[in-house]
Structure 1
Amino acid sequence: MTTATSQKSIDLTVLKARLKKKTGHDCSHPEIAGQSRNYRLFTVIMEEHDKVLVRVYWPYTADGLEGVSCAGGLYSEISTLRFLQKVDPTICAPRPVCYDDDLDGRVGGAWIATVFIEGTLLSKKLATLTNVQSYLVRQSMKEIYIKVLKSTGTNFNEIGSIRTLGNTAATTCHHPECSEDARDREFFIGPMSLSPSNETGVTAPPRPTDTGPFETGEQWLLAVACRHLEYFGSLRRAEPTQAAVRLQCKVLEQIYEATEIIRQRPPTDLVLEHVNFSADNILIAPDNPVKIVGVLGWSGARVVPFWGY
């Protein structure tokens, strides 16, 4: 039986050409740097940015199952990185280079390029840290996380994920919020992006029309309670059990009876949530285990009320 992995491939020659077209700079041939369930990683040397990391969306595994990303996931990610680069570069998020949705399929998947950060994952060094070093690096993580939360300021008034119109991908976004009222703003809130599932067989994404943006906390909580923001095991949604239905009804009743804060329009005290903020996504300096040099894993970042993150 032919699997998805044997039917698809990534064309590195086309990827190199696209990088040059997007940036205007020559680069070396992409070299393999790793692979996860949903991405293949490559590095290139580019004259303007030195070493660049390229992540190609690659939802193909050895079992032939194909994951499907929520529409605009990488587009939202690079928009978030651009936003952070503008409002607070000290957060140590990767510096964005370019993004392409690979509409013609010639590369083999949508991809995002960021400046490569030299560092070691904190999760690989935790066991070797002294008590003092562990305390210091956790304090640094706390300070960065607070900066991330506060980075939204008063820029947004909806719940969802960050988008920018300063990107060619904006012309491919068919969501209703991509309208004239958003064109005067460099950054705005679009549908909530969700990280692709890492579970085998959990491949069907939420329906884009169910993912916002949400004008109130109540709308968002109802979408969560109704499981509109979850990946599923197949394109056909499984029928919920009676126990699950009863629990869902109870949660919905509690939402309807909740305080007025969830019904405020626009919602207040919005923060940027990094949904995967952990030692697995923290890079530390090779020669200084308490110095954080990078924060990775921005896929699925979202703007939500402070009380709900």
Structure 2
Amino acid sequence: MPPSVELEKLKHLIEVELSTPCLELAFLKNDELQTSYRIVTVDGREFQVRCYGEIGETEKRKLESEIATLRWLFPNTTIPVAEIHEWDLTTTKNIGCAYIIQRHIPGISLDSVWDSLEPHVKEKVARKIATYESQLFSRTFKRFGSLYHDQNKRKFVVGPMEVTLPVDTDHTVTSWVGPWKDTKSYLEELCQAVLEVQEKKRGEVLPLDSEDPKTIWLDNQTDIIRALHAVIEAGKVTAGMSPDLFYLSHPDFGNLASVIVDPDDRSKIVGVNRWEDARIMPLWKVVPSSMTVFDNPQLRKIRIEVISKIVPKIGHALDEGGALRALEWILMNVPASEKSQEIWLQRLRVLVRGWIKDAPKGTPENDALHRLHNLLS
């Protein structure tokens, strides 16, 4: 639940942290986790302070990564983001709750005006968004995961990232895994995390009776995942791939709700928000989610055109990564019931048929693939 904050204490904290008197402090918004306030200082600057109640370990890690990401972006790109000034994620100091002080970005959400924009304005906005996104490709990282500060808050490091997997139709389990040096390591650990969830299902969700039909179904499903794990370990899935390069990626970059525009000039982007799910990713994962500016094929073409100036092979890499994205979906969407399994199995069969075309038996990686193929037959 959002915290209860004494405004006088909050005002004093802000004035100390920003080293300037606070002219205005007003409620902005709240949700189940936080309450936000808008601040105007005597020199006319606008800030936002986000106050949190009790935050669990998962939420704390996500906030730590979001803070590090925004602080990395501000000096390294010209993407308009809410610059972080001060923060404290403990709940026992200062005002009795965790807080983040950042610049306030006034404007309106692009999704509130997108449908009313003329086609040439949409193209202008899409090109600008793609230009901003292309800046994320100007720097590479050595690991794949989430971005954090080091212990001294002076350097940036790549650390574990959140992976959420289904246990049943109503429950999920969150694991913090990584970072990884390559795609193969990521897929191996992701598959291992899935197998651990399968064990959880076996022990807690379904009866241990090996003759029970539901248990037989689960055990067969687990055998398939183990065989898939062996294929990944053998290197068949990533054989012949281009070398991994890792980039900071915002999965919702271009999402209509993530982009803030000037209400008086709706082609002018004044902010890009929602960095809490940003990750350091290999190129094959850098694909916009749904409900973005780039859902339109013509605007998607503009995105590739602009980013290709920084990463000439992005089109090839995204095409090459189609099978990897399909495999990742399979690992992260293991069916929780027998009724929902057929689509999952069909997608896996399509992948395996593609891999097995030129894979005669006789090598460890090919033999592992044939064992998986036999289980799916």
For residue 41 of structure 1, give the secondary structure of its aligned residue in structure 2.
strand
Structure 1 or 2, whichever has the larger Rg, is 2
Q: Secondary structure at the match of 1:91?
A: coil
TM-score by length of 1: 0.70
2:177–2:189: 8 Å Cα contact kept in structure 1? yes
Is 1:285 paired with 2:262? yes
Distance 1:20 1:191, change over 3 A: farther
The equivalent position to 1:21 in structure 2, one of 16, 22, 30, is: 16
> Aligned partners of 2:272, 2:92: CA distance in 1, in Å?
31
The CA deviation at 1:112 is: 1.6
Identity across the alignment (%): 23
Does residue 190 in structure 1 map to residue 159 in structure 2? Answer: yes
CA–CA separation in structure 1 for the residues paired with 2:177 and 2:44: 35
1:163 maps onto 2:152 in alignment? no
Q: Aligned-pair distance for 1:117?
A: 1.3
Mapped to 1, the partners of 2:96 and 2:191 lie a distance apart of 35
Structure 1 runs not aligned, ≥5 long: 60-65, 172-182, 196-200, 229-236
Name the CA shift for 1:28/1:135 in 2 (closer, same or farther; >3 Å): same
CA distance in 2, matches of 1:260, 1:19: 54
Which residue identity does 2:179 align to in structure 1? P
Q: Is the 8 A contact 1:119 1:286 kept in 2?
A: yes
**Residue in structure 2 matching 1:129, options 117, 122, 128:** 117
Query: What whole-Å deviation, never above 9, does each CA across 1:212-240 have from its counterpart, x for those lacking one?
Result: 32233233223434557xxxxxxxx9748
Q: Deviations over 1:211-270 (max 9, x none)?
A: 332233233223434557xxxxxxxx97488276466446534433322578x9xx7311
CA distance in 1, matches of 2:10, 2:163: 25
Letter in 1 for 2:144: I
Q: 1:276 to 1:37 in 2, by over 3 A?
A: farther
Q: 1:51 to 1:221 in 2, by over 3 A?
A: same
In the alignment, does 2:198 pair up with 1:213? no
Residues 70, 205 of structure 1: 8 Å contact kept: no
Q: Would you say 1:42 and 2:30 are equivalent positions?
A: no
Q: For 1:252, give the aligned amino acid.
A: H
- 67, 85, 101: which one aligns with 1:97: 85
| CA RMSD between the two structures | 3.4
Kindly tell me: are residues 47 and 225 of structure 1, through their superposed partners in 2, closer, same or farther at Cα, counting changes over 3 Å? farther
Query: Contact 1:163 / 1:188 at 8 angstroms: preserved in 2?
Result: yes
> Match of 2:321?
none
Equivalent position amino acid for 2:127 in 1: Q
Higher helix share: 2
Mapped contact 1:158–1:216 kept (Cα < 8 A): yes
Distance of aligned partners of 1:238 and 1:140 in 2 relative to their CA distance in 1, 3 Å threshold: farther
Cα gap change, 1:48 to 1:132, in 2 (>3 Å): same
Q: 1:268 aligns with which of 218, 241, 244?
A: 244
- Selected match of 1:145 from 123, 126, 133: 133
Moved over 4 A (4+): 237-241
SS at the partner of 1:255? helix
Aligned CA distance change for structure 1 residues 25 and 220 (closer, same or farther; 3 Å): farther
Distance apart, 1:15 and its partner CA: 3.0
Q: In the TM superposition, what is the alpha-carbon distance from 1:296 to its structure 2 partner?
A: 0.4
Work out the CA distance in 1 between the residues paired with 2:21 and 2:29. 23
Map 1:67-106; keep pairs closer than 5 Å: 69-88=58-77, 90-104=78-92
* Distance change (3 Å), C-alpha of 1:103 and 1:193: farther
SS of the equivalent of 1:118 reads coil
Superposed CA deviations along residues 27-80 of structure 1, whole A, max 9, x for unmatched, are 246421112343322111134671101222357xxxxxx976344322221211
Give 1:10 deviation, angstroms: 3.2
Where does the alignment leave 5 or more consecutive residues of structure 2 unmatched?
165-169, 195-202, 207-216, 287-377
Task: Tell me whether 1:297 sits opposite 2:274 in the alignment.
Answer: yes
Corresponding residue number in structure 2 for 1:308: 285
Structure 1 residues 71, 95: closer, same or farther in 2, change over 3 A?
closer
The residue type equivalent to 1:187 in the other structure is: F
Q: Tell me the alpha carbon deviations over residues 253-296 of structure 1, each in whole angstroms, 9 at most, x when there is no partner.
A: 4433322578x9xx731111112321101001111111111000
Provide the secondary structure at the position in 2 that maps to 1:69: helix
* CA displacement 1:100-125 (0-9 Å, x = unmatched): 11341664542222111121100000
The residue type equivalent to 2:79 in the other structure is I
Match in the other structure for 2:358: none
Separation in structure 2 between the aligned mates of residue 205 and residue 11 of structure 1, nearest angstrom = 36
